[in-house]
């Protein structure tokens, strides 16, 4: 595991395997507690910077996609679903032509 050290010397993992959500939140909470309970009085901007690095490290461990990618995949899924429904209808029509006897007996 590689770590990135911020000005406050709190390690933020950047190459660790993806954690379970609860473990990730626990680790994030522990790191945030250490960051905000530091004995040294750090300027607000430095704390915000360190917290941002901490959050980015946590988010990088999650299997997330951008909103644009999500929306793009939703469009692809809708097209695929419509095409599947059209093909299912076409197959049913072809089957009905080949076997004109009712299927619901």
Stronger pLDDT, 103 or 67, i.e. the higher one: 67
On the 0-12 / 13-18 / 19+ scale of CB atoms within 10 A, 34 is middle
Among residues 1, 13, 100, the alpha carbon closest in space to that of 56 is found at 13
Average pLDDT over residues 73-81: 98
pLDDT value at residue 4 = 42
pTM: 0.45
Quote the pLDDT of residue 26: 78
Task: Please choose, from the candidates 15, 16, 12, 13, the residue with its C-alpha nearest in 3D space to the C-alpha of residue 35.
Answer: 12
pLDDT in tens, 23-62: 777 777 777 777 767 666 667 777 778 778 887 887 777 7
Q: How confident is the model at residue 79 (pLDDT cuts 50, 70, 90)?
A: very high
């Amino acid at each position: 595991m590689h770590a990135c050290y911020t000005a406050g010397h709190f390690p933020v993992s950047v190459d660790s395997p993806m954690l379970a959500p609860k473990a990730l939140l626990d680790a994030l909470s522990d790191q945030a507690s250490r960051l905000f309970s530091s004995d040294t009085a750090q300027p607000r901007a430095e704390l915000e910077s360190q917290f941002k690095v901490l959050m980015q490290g946590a988010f990088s461990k999650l299997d997330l996609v951008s909103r644009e990618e999500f929306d793009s995949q939703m469009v692809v899924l809708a097209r695929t679903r419509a095409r599947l429904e059209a093909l299912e209808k076409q197959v049913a029509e072809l089957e009905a032509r080949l076997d004109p006897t009712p299927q619901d007996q």
